[in-house]
Chains A and B, each alone.
Chain A
Amino acid sequence: MAEENIVCTFCGSVCDDGQFDTEKFKSKKLCKLGSSKFSKKERIKAPMIDGKEVSYEEAIEKAAEILVNAKKPLLYGWASTVNEAIRLGVILTEKVRGVYDQCASVCHAPGTLAVIEEGLPGGSLGAVKNRADVVIFWGSNPMEAHPRHGMRYSISAKGLLIKDRKQRKVIVVDVRPTKTAKLADEFVQIKPGYDYPIISALRAIISGNADAVPDEVGGVSKEKLVELAETMKNAKYGVIFYGLGVTQSRGRDRNIENAVKLIQLLNRHTRWIIWPMRGHYNVVGAGEVPAWEAGYQYAIDFSRGYPRFSPAEFSAVEVLKRRDCDAALIIASDPVAHFPRTAVKHLKSISVIQIDPFPNMTTLVANVVIPSAVAGLEAEGTAYRMDGIPLRVKKIVETNYWSDEQILEKLLEKVEELKR
């Protein structure tokens, strides 16, 4: 049977127009990344304690014991699961007085810091598709990371005012010619680490202080910058989509802050918005849910019984590097593969619980492994697209795996029992 309008749970584009043939177990319309997720993949077979297969109940019981006996557990991951599971995770962290952190802390967190400094003048992807006549990808490369973003929302997408690709000018600003740059009308190559001064130069030109701009900034000629500034000012509705190229290069949150100031300035002339190209399909939910439950998006310490936010102290990497946690629950993520060595070293020395549909490097160090259903395929729930638009991901095939939500519900119940 063919399922229509399935929602892809791979990247932050969260395309909701997929098709899935349940007999052939094959998706249609999704990109390579998406269709790989929606295919038969290697799975964790069964729950395990220290490598021995056990029942879900036994694994959850053991996980509850580890969390309750820990002085300060770290609960990390969350970007690739649904809001219902995340909410239980936040409540669980509060209950065991641990630290909640999510994948954003190692990628887009500087964007959140910039929101705190300057706000986020943005719009939905539908607004971009309908109105944007100038689209700038700054340090972001959707053709590799969000393959259908361009077609659905930003490059060739047709909308209310933009009826044709020719009516939209696409500009890529990056340190190297990316796949997206090949599709762009213009590519501005900059020297690595020069985002901040280039943005400052654009601000100077747009506010009438071009005199202050030297002949060349970060590898871009003044002439080119003036031209770019003119394009921006003359846009009817422009958008900057920024990526890790900006958040993870020199300047980090200051780069974004500066870019937001540029957008503030541009809105005095015409309409502009800015938005981060978020990676995992529900990394937005992993920040939004704790924001309403506990007031903050990430790096939240509950050890005093109430939430405290401090990225420099309570992000997972910092907590691990400081050896400030004595157990960890890792869900839908692979810190062993991606964290710095000192952080991984501490992770290897403490009790680790893993909840994930797929085996990864972290599975190898986990004491308790709890396999879960794949959200969007075997389990339903709510996810937020990169622009915060909520979509309900679907259950389209049956499974014996428990969903993240079921596992966490039971785990929370067990923890409450043990704490009583």
Chain B
Amino acid sequence: MHHALHIKNGIVIDPKNGVKAEKMDIFVKDGKIVEESEVKGEDVKVIDASNKLVVAGGVDMHAHIAGSKINTGRTMRPEEMRVVRNIANKFRAAVGRVLLTSPAIGYEYAKMGYTSSFEAAQPPIGALHTHEELDAIPMIDKAALPVFGNWHFVFKYVEAKDIEKLKTFIAWALERTKGFGVKVVNPGGVEAWMYGGNVKSLDDQVPSFNVTPREIITSLIKAVEELKLNHSVHIHCNRLGVPGNYETTIETIKLAGGFSNDARQVLHVTHVQFNAYAGDSWRTVSSGAEEIAKTVNSMDNVTIDMGQPIFGHATAMTGDAPFQFTLHRLTGARWSNKDSEVEGGAGIVPLVYLPKNPVHALQWAIGLELGLLIDSDKVVLTTDYPNGGPFTEYPYIMAMLMSKKMREGELEKVSPYVQKASNLPAIDTEKALEEVIHMTRSLPARILGLPQKGHLGVGADADIAIYNLNPLEIDTSNDFEKVYKAFKTAEYTIKSGRILVKNGELVDEHWGKTYWVDATGKVDMEAIKPDLEDYFKYYSVELQNYGVEERWLKKPERIVI
């Protein structure tokens, strides 16, 4: 096997390094991008990329790809598994419509030129399960974000205003779950659900704890910033899926105001589409995207991702258990729920986005509004897979953001309700190819705090996608079908210097790394030991048996803070 590559004559777009569609050669050795001189005298495989687009591999910073939620979804929905994507041969059998099996997840990302994906909600006590599934996904690098916002330990330390102990607890939890960063889902609201309720504002008190969502969020931001974790607090806001929730979202975004970090945002607000509704009922609902966009654009320390719905099948699965129940009541669809010890909960409900349904069409429009109205340096492209639909339709979103003409065509097919309830029809913005590349590569990598990802500079991981698209010639406004097709299947996907996909076909299998962040060196772990020992009486497992050891993982990559 060649361990060096020379990607010749490609047209490179590499936003992080300021490369805007330049004809350039890229050299790869031992899984990294290197200078030309480094491959001299090596057995180099040359890839002719003439007239083709060469970019870094895609980075999905928020998807639900592993763990008890997606797996319950699979069990609940065998009808999702009847699409056969690969018959067992050199590669594994792969099936799934929107919900995919683990092998299918890896294969589909690779075929699309994506090389990393982050599981965005890991129930802490279920961490081992999440990691087993991550280890069953071939091709890509991955990581998981454990969920903190309804964990009793967090409530207790926030209640006591003890940021030191909160920091220690975060470090402990990341180490035990082999997690990457701090995810927060409907802080306080899931605890309220244990009593059949929810929280309705940032200042509602959490039942039986003297804390509010506002205090939980700000304390977690403070702790994460003092720990200097790679990734900021990553929040699924309160009041998701409720008309009028955009105001809560804006209030939440503003909580980042008092904090700063030179390298990245201090708050990432996820799948904002689901939290961007104005109006006071489903009958009067309209888009709150413009107000949210104004707020995000006015701040220099907040980023978001879209959570774009794709028309067709989807499965709602979140740690926001009360929302999932509301959705079940609204649609009458199947409902799974999982209350989890003293850590929070989750729910799963199948759904389908119909273009002629006024609310679904509005959701679709809001996602796009966010993508178009927010600075390309602050908004990442996601579907919140599988909540908004498949990740395999990222190319559709990319093409839509770059072409008003495409959007006009699509607008004709959807409910006319969007004409009055959203601003999408009036938006002329067409993102440039570099911007969309940034929104799918360099930006998510920066937000996650992964300097070796999302770009093609010397020293970066050799995760590279080559697409059959010449950026010097393509008219992205008019040739949107070509753009869509090109991004759908990569000509080449190269992961850690290995060619995994050629002409859209899998050619090699690779097992990526699982990143986790070790901040235990920054805190005094002894400080919370008595608390852990005491409060674990409310667990149904022993403290000593809680968590995941590194040696149980296939390819762990520890990042020491």
Residues of chain A at the chain B interface (Cβ within 8 Å) = 4-5, 7, 16-17, 83, 87, 91, 94-95, 97, 112, 115-127, 129-131, 152-153, 159-160, 236-237, 264, 267-271, 273, 287-289, 291-297, 302, 304-307, 309, 382, 384, 388-392
* Bound-state Cα–Cα, A116 to B76, Å: 4
Q: Quick check: B74 and A292 within 8 Å, CB to CB?
A: yes
B88 at the interface (CB under 8 A from A): yes
Q: Which of B127-135, B271-279, B490-498, B519-527 forms part of the interface with chain A? A: B127-135
CB-defined contacts of A264 to chain B, threshold 8 Å:
328, 335
**Nearest-CB distance from A309 to chain B (Å)?**
5
Task: Report Cα–Cα, A124/B349, bound state, in Å.
Answer: 19
Contacting pair B101 A392 (CB below 8 A): no
Q: Is the CB of A119 within 8 A of B76?
A: yes
CB pair A123–B540 under 8 Å, yes or no, is no
Within 8 A of A (CB), among B488-508: none
7 A–B contact pairs at CB < 8 A?
A119-B328, A124-B339, A126-B538, A237-B194, A288-B129, A382-B552, A389-B540
CB closest residue in chain A, given B193: A271
B478 at the A interface (CB under 8 A): no
Residues of A with C-beta under 8 A to B339: 122-124, 127, 131, 273
Apart from the given pairs A118-B334, A120-B337, A271-B196, 19 other A-B contacts in the complex at a CB distance below 8 Å: A17-B542, A97-B88, A115-B75, A117-B334, A119-B336, A126-B341, A268-B329, A270-B196, A293-B92, A305-B87, A305-B93, A306-B87, A306-B95, A384-B129, A388-B129, A388-B338, A391-B545, A392-B549, A392-B552
Choose, from B77-85, B107-115, B354-362, the stretch at the interface: B77-85
Question: In the complex, what's the smallest C-beta–C-beta distance from B495 to chain A, in angstroms?
Answer: 21
A291 is contacted by which of B75, B349, B542 (Cβ under 8 Å)? Answer: B75
Cβ contacts B462-492/A at 8 Å (1 or 0 each): 0000000000000000000000000000000
Q: Is the CB of A130 within 8 A of B341?
A: yes
Q: Is B103 an interface residue (CB 8 A)?
A: yes
Which A residues lie within 8 Å of B261 (CB)?
none
In whole angstroms, how far apart are the Cα atoms of A152 and B537 in the complex? 11
Is B539 in contact with chain A by the CB < 8 A criterion?
Answer: yes
Specify which of B72, B101, B195 is in contact with A120 (CB 8 Å cutoff). Answer: B72
Query: In the complex, what residue of chain A is closest to B84 when comparing beta carbons?
Result: A306
Q: How far apart are B541's CB and chain A's nearest CB, in angstroms? A: 5
Closest to B152 in A: A160
Asked if B342 is at the interface of the complex by the 8 Å CB criterion, the answer is yes
Contact B538 A390 (CB under 8 A): no
**B444 in contact (CB, < 8 A):** no
Q: Are A295 and B340 in contact (CB under 8 A)?
A: no
User: Do A293 and B101 contact each other (CB < 8 Å), given the known contacts A94-B92, A123-B337, A389-B125?
Assistant: yes
Roughly how many angstroms separate A118 CA and B335 CA in the complex, as a whole number? 6
Q: Which residue of the partner chain, among B103, B125, B194, B325, contacts A131 with CB atoms under 8 Å?
A: B194
Does B89 lie at the interface of the complex (its beta carbon under 8 Å from any beta carbon of A)?
Answer: yes
Taking CB atoms, residues of chain B closer than 8 Å to A123 are 337-340, 345
Q: Please determine whether B95 and A294 come into contact, CB atoms closer than 8 angstroms.
A: yes
List residues of B (189-217) whose CB comes within 8 Å of A's CBs: 193-196
Interface residues of chain B, those whose CB is within 8 Å of chain A, are 66, 68, 70-72, 74-78, 80-81, 84, 86-89, 92-93, 95-96, 101-103, 125-129, 132-133, 136, 193-196, 325, 328-329, 334-342, 345, 348-349, 538-542, 544-545, 549, 552
Contact in complex: A392, B128 (CB < 8 Å): yes
Task: State whether B542 touches A288 (Cβ < 8 A).
Answer: no
Q: A7-B545, A160-B342 are in contact. Are A390 and B337 (CB under 8 A)?
A: no
User: Once bound together, how far apart are the Cα atoms of A5 and B88, in whole Å?
Assistant: 41
Chain A residue contacts of B335, Cβ below 8 A: 118-119, 121, 264
10 interchain residue pairs of minimum CB distance: A123-B339, A295-B81, A126-B341, A126-B540, A390-B128, A119-B334, A305-B87, A127-B339, A119-B336, A121-B337
Q: Which residues of A contact B80 (CB under 8 A)?
A: 295
Interface centre among A127, A273, A289 (most CB of B within 10 A): A127
Report the separation of the CA atoms of residues A235 and B328 in the bound assembly, to the nearest whole angstrom.
22
* Closest chain A CB from B94 CB (angstroms): 8
Q: How far is the CB of A30 from chain B (nearest CB, A)?
A: 14
- A124's contact among B70, B92, B128, B341, by CB below 8 Å, is which? B341
**A382 in contact with B132 (CB, 8 Å):** yes
Q: Are B338 and A292 in contact (CB under 8 A)?
A: no
- Distance (whole angstroms) from the CB of B551 to the closest CB of chain A: 10
* Alpha-carbon distance between A386 and B71 when the two chains are bound, in angstroms: 15
Known: A94-B93, A153-B540, A292-B102. A115 touches B338 (CB 8 A): no
| A95 CB to nearest B CB, Å | 7
B88 engages A95 (CB within 8 Å): yes
Residues of A within 8 Å of B196, CB to CB, are 267, 269-271
B66 to chain A, nearest CB (A): 8
Measured CA separation A50–B212 after assembly (Å): 69
Inter-chain contact A124/B125, CB cutoff 8 Å? yes
Give the Cβ gap from A185 to chain B, nearest Cβ, in Å.
Answer: 22
Q: Which residues of B contact A112 (CB under 8 A)?
A: 75
- Give the distance in Å from the alpha carbon of A117 to the alpha carbon of B545 in the complex: 35
Q: B residues within 8 A CB of A306?
A: 84, 86-88, 93, 95
A116 in contact with B77 (CB, 8 Å): yes
C-alpha gap A7/B544 in the complex (Å): 11
CB-based contact B88/A127 at 8 Å: no
Residue of A nearest to B350 (CB): A119
Are A392 and B545 neighbours in the complex by a CB distance under 8 Å? yes
**Do A291 and B71 touch (CB < 8 A)?**
yes
A211 to chain B, nearest CB (A): 25
- Closest-CB distance, B351 to chain A (whole angstroms): 13
In the bound assembly, the distance between CA atoms of A420 and B420 in angstroms comes to 63
Q: Across the interface, which residues of B come within 8 angstroms of A304, CB to CB? A: 87
In the bound complex, residues from chain B placing their C-beta under 8 Å from that of A130 are: 341-342, 538
Nearest Cβ on chain A to B352's Cβ, whole angstroms: 16
Identify the closest chain B residue to A308 (Cβ).
B82
Cross-chain contact B68 with A388 (CB below 8 angstroms): yes
The docked-state distance in angstroms from the alpha carbon of A159 to that of B542 is 14
Cβ-defined partner of A119 (8 Å) among B342, B348, B538: B348
Residue of B nearest to A117 (CB): B334
Which A residues touch B87, using CB under 8 A?
Answer: 304-306
Report the bound CA distance from A148 to B312 in whole Å.
46
Contacts of A94 in B (CB 8 A): 88, 92-93
Contact A120 B336 (CB under 8 A): yes
- With A83-B132, A390-B128 as known contacts, state yes or no: A288 contacts B336, CB within 8 Å: no
A130 CA to B340 CA, complexed, in Å: 11
Shortest beta-carbon distance from B63 to chain A in Å: 15
Complex Cα gap A211–B101 (Å): 48
The CA-CA distance from A356 to B493 in the complex, in Å, is 43
**Bound state CA distance, A384 and B126, in angstroms?**
10
User: Given that A94-B88, A130-B341, A382-B128 are known contacts, is A267 also in contact with B101, CB under 8 Å in the complex?
Assistant: no
**Bound Cα distance A183, B72 (Å):** 33
Q: Is the CB of A307 within 8 A of B338?
A: no
**CA separation between A223 and B96, bound complex, in Å?**
49
A124-B340, A294-B101 as given contacts; A307 in contact with B81, CB under 8 Å: yes
| Alpha-carbon separation in the docked complex, A94 to B127 (Å) | 27
- Nearest opposing residue in chain B for A287, CB measure: B75
Bound together, the chains give a CA A93 to CA B128 distance in angstroms of 24
Complex Cα distance, B95 from A306, in Å, reads 8
- Cross-chain contact A305 with B89 (CB below 8 angstroms): yes
Contacts of A4 in B (CB 8 A): 544
Q: Which residues of A contact B341 (CB under 8 A)?
A: 124, 126-127, 130
CB-defined contacts of B549 to chain A, threshold 8 Å = 392
Report how far A7 CA is from B101 CA in the complex, Å. Answer: 30
A87 to B312, CA, bound (A): 32
What's the Cα separation between A118 and B336 when bound, in Å?
8
Known: A291-B74, A306-B87. A122 touches B338 (CB 8 A): yes
- Min CB distance, A269 to chain B, in Å? 8
CB of A388, distance to nearest CB on chain B (Å): 6
Q: Nearest chain-B residue to A236 (Cβ)?
A: B195
Q: How far is the CA of A120 from the CA of B336 in the complex (A)?
A: 4
Q: Please tell me which one of the listed residues B72, B101, B132, B542 contacts residue A5 in the complex, with CB atoms under 8 A apart.
A: B542
Chain A residues contacting B92 (CB-CB under 8 Å) are 91, 94, 293
Max chain A C-beta neighbours (<10 A), residue from B325, B336, B541: B541
